[in-house]
Amino acid sequence: MPKLSRRAEALGTENAFVVLAEVNRLIREGADIVSFCIGQPDFPTPVHVQDAAVEAVRSGRHGYTPSAGIDELRAAAAESMGKLRGLAIEPDEVVVGAGAKPFIGYTIASVTDYGAGDEVIYPVPGFPIYESQIVANGAVPVALPLAEARGFAFDPAALEARIGPKTRLLILNTPHNPTGGLLTRADLEAIAAVLRRHPDVWVYADEIYSKLVYDGEFVSIAALPGMRERTIISDGASKTYAMTGWRIGFTANKALAPVFTRWITNTESCASQISQWAALQALTGPQGDAEVMKERFHARRDLIVRLLNAVPGFRCATPGGAFYAWPNVTQACALIGARDSEELRRRLLLEAGVAVLADVHFGPRIEGEGQHIRFSYATSESAIEQGVARIDAFMRKATR
């Protein structure tokens, strides 16, 4: 059989889907499992959004669109993103894609040269696709550690120390996956102060959870002085409107919009026209369903944090946004004799019937930061109560 390329063999993945496949296999075999491993809303897409998709099909809107997206959605996305960030974003700055995820790869490919030693700084722990796309595009990944003591932000001095002559891109994510951390205005101002000393570094602002903030305010680094032109704003419909499978994301950057458009022409041609009309209705139609979902996520956050903090060996900070909890389980591992969070995760799955992700699924473990696991609380209140009760019973039984 012909060989695969080194790039294909080294390509990373998103471990939430790997664990989910394992969970689904166990369920098919008869296991009773409460799963917290996948980050997608458990709510249905709002009915008026579904109706817009049906209307698009019935009216014949199911062919190709311009690669950058239909004009109506580009304008609506520009208005929505601009209003939230206090910016005047023009429709021609916006490009629509098949989800927000492809723009991670498009951005890295657009600002680094393959094999040239160009560096991309990315947060750890962080969304695993950051690192895998950096490597796949022939750039050099430079991990920037987040600190629990800083609310899962990073030390601006650590950023400064990692910027060198080969640095081409900084990836920021707020609210953050997997910790739920929220970069404050003060955090972003300190980051911007560092970046102003390095004008050749682009910023990819992954803000897909921008409308799911529970404490404080959402601030985009693009809104700070001197940062707009060099920042790629990334957002989408998946999380806010329970549209993960519809695959609609959008970015805004004037200089890179034509480049992203060409990437889309070279890859998916365009996002699904049907999904684009549905997303237009999501952005411009009634927002009541999205507001209710946010309120439910907020209540679930408070519930899961309270319950986890009552489990022996668990210490869970309150996340500011998104729908993830990131408890410190260093003591829990010690109590049951688990060597690390990955062993704890496996035991929770096989002995307690609870599926979570370990910190090593989101990049190399940070020295001095202890052990963590991730819960997605984009699931029902009853599942949260049942799942954490199982963990509590397991910890009390397994403690040495």
- For residue range 307-343, list pLDDT tens digits in order: 999 999 999 999 999 999 999 999 999 999 999 999 9
Q: What pLDDT is attached to residue 13? A: 78
pLDDT over 80 (residue 96): yes
- Confirm or reject CATH 3.40.50.720 for domain 47-284, answering yes or no: no
Q: What is the pLDDT of residues 229-248, one digit of tens each?
A: 999 999 999 999 999 999 99
What is the pLDDT averaged over residues 167-179? 98
Where in the chain are all domains bearing CATH 3.40.640.10?
Answer: 47-284
Q: Are strands 249-252 and 231-236 parallel, antiparallel or unpaired?
A: antiparallel
- Confirm or reject CATH 3.40.50.920 for domain 6-44+289-398, answering yes or no: no
Q: What pLDDT is attached to residue 21? A: 85
Q: What pLDDT is attached to residue 340? A: 96
Q: Is 12 exposed, middle or buried (0-12, 13-18, 19+ CB in 10 A)?
A: middle
Taken in order 51, 52, 53, 59, is the CA torsion positive or negative? positive
Query: 332 versus 216: which is more confidently predicted?
Result: 332
Task: Provide, rounded to the nearest whole percent, the portion of the chain with pLDDT above 70.
Answer: 100
Q: What pLDDT is attached to residue 212? A: 98
Q: What is the pLDDT of residues 41-63, one digit of tens each?
A: 999 999 999 999 999 999 999 99
pLDDT over 90 (residue 301): yes
pLDDT band at 8 (very low <50, low <70, confident <90, very high): confident
pLDDT band at 7 (very low <50, low <70, confident <90, very high): confident
Extended strands (E) in the chain: 34-35, 94-97, 119-124, 140-145, 167-173, 202-206, 231-236, 249-252, 324-325, 354-355, 357-358, 373-376
| Alpha-carbon distances, residue 62 vs 48, 55, 75, 282 (angstroms) | 19, 11, 20, 18
Where in the chain are all domains bearing CATH 3.90.1150.10?
Answer: 6-44+289-398
Q: Contact, 9 vs 134, CB < 8 A?
A: no
Q: What pLDDT is attached to residue 150? A: 93
pLDDT over 90 (residue 218): yes
